[in-house]
Amino acid sequence: MRALLFCFLLTISLAPAQPVQPPPPNTQTYSLPPDKLQKAVDYAHARHWLYFISQIYGVAALLAILAFGIAAKFRDWAEAASRRRFIQAIIFVPLLLLANDLLNIPFAIYGQHLELIFQQSIQSWPSWLWDWTKGELLAILLSIVLAFILYAVIRRSPARWWFYFWLASLPILFTIAFVEPFVVEPMFFKFEPLAKQHSALVTDLEKVVARGGLAIPPDRMFEMKASEKVTSINAYVTGFGASKRVVVWDTTLQKLTTPEILMVFGHEMGHYVLGHVRNSLILAALFGLLLLYAGFHVLHWLIRRWGPRWHIRGLTDWASLPALLLVASVFGFFSEPVANGYSRWQEHQADIYGLEVIHGLVPNPAAVAAHTFQVLGEEGLDEPDPNPFIEFWTFSHPSISERVAFSSSYNPWSTGTPKYVK
């Protein structure tokens, strides 16, 4: 797995440089006034350090839980409390998760501190802590179920548990994606139908929907009250099947003009039409299979080599769970560039779709889109010239500079061949 990724990295760095093309005549560039530019650079640097250090620390925390016998101690308590496996899971899993997440909480706190000092968040600390607690409760509930299934499968099929657990996790993954928009998200933000306070806007949005030859009924459009906690602009598509919906943050409605909101909506419609949520889920499932198969081998080796020292009796032992989390977090870290590369590609497709679907409905869509990204970048303090390695590894969206340059010069109508919306 890792060797594969290094090959991937190598191919990219060894690829011959593209000859530099002169930009098309209408190309605009993304820029920030000097004070904001300095802030954006400082904010980016602080976040990047936080990201890489917290990843390394996360691995160290799991190693500490193993090396100091903390996991083994929790297992002893769970086994002393009951002979029933499910009761043991209810005791062991929350203890382990809480220990791990409390070890990692300084980084979460520092992340929120950065959001506050760079004016990206206005959330109070008690409110933040309550969100953290709700997130923990959700993670604990889900982890109890998953860990119980995982260890039941490992005990029954020591050689093929990786495949059976993957099969068992699929319906869970799809159920979560389905219920997430109306069960999980409302625990953190308030939602209401977009038409409730913005009926004129919904009428305009329906024109965009019709232009795309699509049917997104207004009851699948929601406004999220993001402004209670954050200042940045966003919109997204979420859900799956009957729960699929478009969500626009109220900050977006406050800070953008109607044509710009139509562009943002057109982009989200691109995700909706092009089935991006479904495709990402399928890819995540396939990646999960790969991870479990590789994890199976690494984990067996790890437990053979270090098990006695960590007081782990074997893979069927609850105390092996942090070793599994360790393998998953290392794999997750090295797969980040692949997942983000795929996401950037999807986002670029959605940008193209957005530009095409508002063509003819909004005067000068290229300028509207370029200005939308300019505002998005200013509000979110995006640096105009990000480090290429950071972009490659961590960016889920193309950089704002690329999006401004691309959208301001996008004009397939001159050749008569738009990609998605004819």
* Contact criterion met (CB below 8 Å) for 251 and 234: yes
At its nearest, how many Å lie between Zn ion and the CB of residue 412? 20
Decide whether 94 or 270 has the Cβ nearer to Zn ion: 270
At its nearest, how many Å lie between Zn ion and the CB of residue 343? 9
Decide whether 350 or 369 has the Cβ nearer to Zn ion: 350
333 contacts: CB under 8 Å, gap ≥ 6: 55
Decide whether 58 or 354 has the Cβ nearer to Zn ion: 354
Decide whether 327 or 350 has the Cβ nearer to Zn ion: 350
Sheet containing strand 221-224, strands side by side: 191-193, 221-224, 245-249, 235-238
Mind giving me the DSSP string for 141-162? Answer: HHHHHHHHHHHHHHHH-TTTHH
Q: In degrees to the nearest 10, what's the CA dihedral of 166, 167, 173, 174? A: 150
Summarize as ranges the residues that interact with Zn ion (CB under 5 A). 347, 350
* Contact criterion met (CB below 8 Å) for 108 and 136: no
Decide whether 264 or 327 has the Cβ nearer to Zn ion: 264
The stretches of 191-320 forming alpha helices (DSSP H) are 199-211, 250-255, 258-273, 276-306
Chain Cα centroid distance, residue 125: 23
**CA distances (Å), 221 to each of 102, 203, 206, 224, 357, in order?**
37, 12, 10, 10, 17
* Contact criterion met (CB below 8 Å) for 191 and 220: no
396 contacts: CB under 8 Å, gap ≥ 6: 340, 343, 344, 347
Interatomic CA distance for residues 377 and 399, integer angstroms? 9
User: Which residues does residue 191 pair with via DSSP β-bridges, in sequence order?
Assistant: 224
At its nearest, how many Å lie between Zn ion and the CB of residue 363? 24
Write down the residue that tokens 């980040």 correspond to. 336
Phi, psi of 191 (to 5 degrees): -125, 150
Q: If we measure between CA atoms, which residue out of 297, 38, 333, 364 comes closest to residue 159?
A: 297
Decide whether 181 or 322 has the Cβ nearer to Zn ion: 181
Residue 396 per-residue DSSP state: S
Q: If we measure between CA atoms, which residue out of 98, 99, 127 comes closest to residue 112?
A: 127
Decide whether 24 or 275 has the Cβ nearer to Zn ion: 275
Residue 18 CB neighbour total at 10 angstroms:
6
Q: Which structure tokens are listed for 200?
A: 């004129």
At its nearest, how many Å lie between Zn ion and the CB of residue 236? 7
Decide whether 257 or 396 has the Cβ nearer to Zn ion: 396
At its nearest, how many Å lie between Zn ion and the CB of residue 352? 11
Task: Exactly one of 115, 185, 268, 402 is catalytic; name it.
Answer: 268
Residue 268 annotated in active site = yes
Decide whether 61 or 350 has the Cβ nearer to Zn ion: 350
Strands 245-249 and 221-224: parallel
At its nearest, how many Å lie between Zn ion and the CB of residue 350? 5
* Active site amino acids: 268
